[in-house]
Amino acid sequence: MKGRYPYNVHIMNTKINTEDSYHSLLLLEELSKEETLSQRDLSKRLGIALGLVNSYVKNMIAKGYVRVSSFPKNRYNYLLTPTGIAEKSRLTYQHLHYFTNLYTTARKDFSELFSKLEKTGVKKVLFCGVDEVAEIAYLSLQETDLQLSGIMDEEKMGTRFFSYTVSPIEEIGSFDFDMVIVTSFKKRGFLVEQLKGLGIAREKICCIKD
């Protein structure tokens, strides 16, 4: 197995290192619209905690990416500086490159994994973890005869994932499945341990890094 998945460590580390820069990119995109906004408005639009938005904005102002004018009721007019516009372009390229690589490699490896599972007699799989990786896994699954029993994620429970409602992991006993597929790189280790803690045998848990 050595060398079979050399990209995975790189992708996982890149994901960790770029999460803050991805939030920065989203924030710069919002600020580039030159609207009068409160930081609470930005928090709701981006789904980022208010305290985190405040930290990002202060950092961008300190770096000279953003100029700000205040208005009554804690609303502000943000303007990207030339340096801020350049940083937004850099981050856009960085994340486009990352997600292109992620899609290409994960799509291939999920396809290989699902093909292998079919050959071993697996019929039903259960996804655990909701992010862009889960979407790639779902697309790969459509090319097989495997059936998706459901998808679980504590942080996203109650939301929709294609035609499925995301369930909490604690409800795993209510699903009929042969194998659990961990469909998040970022939370891979955490999810595996959580599943094991709920009594799921390790050999019933699959990750494309395995």
Task: State the DSSP H helix or E strand holding residue 202, giving kind and residue range, or none if neither.
Answer: none
Domain coverage including residue 169: 103-206
- How many folded domains does the chain comprise? 2
pLDDT band with cut points at 50, 70 and 90 for residue 209: low
Flag whether 98 is in a domain.
no
Flag whether 4 is in a domain.
no
Flag whether 96 is in a domain.
no
Q: Which of 80, 112, 133 is the last residue of a domain?
A: 80
Q: What percent of the chain has pLDDT over 70?
A: 89
pLDDT band with cut points at 50, 70 and 90 for residue 188: confident
Verify that 194 and 108 share a domain, yes or no. yes
Query: For residue range 85-128, what is the model confidence (pLDDT) as tens digits?
Result: 999 998 888 877 777 887 888 999 999 999 999 999 999 999 99
Helix boundaries (H) for 4-131: 6-31, 39-46, 50-62, 82-119
Flag whether 120 is in a domain.
yes
Q: What is d(CA 112, CA 140) in angstroms, rounded to the nearest whole number? A: 9
Say which CATH number the domain at 128 has.
3.40.50.720
Verify that 67 and 107 share a domain, yes or no. no
Verify that 153 and 110 share a domain, yes or no. yes
Say which CATH number the domain at 39 has.
1.10.10.10
Verify that 62 and 148 share a domain, yes or no. no
Query: For residue range 10-36, what is the model confidence (pLDDT) as tens digits?
Result: 434 444 345 678 788 889 988 888 788
Verify that 147 and 202 share a domain, yes or no. yes
Specify which residues 67 forms β-bridges with: 79
Cβ-in-10-Å burial (0-12, 13-18, 19+) of 155 comes to exposed
Residues 124/147, Cβ–Cβ less than 8 Å: yes
Verify that 51 and 124 share a domain, yes or no. no
Q: Which of 80, 95, 119 is the last residue of a domain?
A: 80
Query: For residue range 122-166, what is the model confidence (pLDDT) as tens digits?
Result: 999 999 999 889 999 999 999 999 999 999 998 889 999 999 999
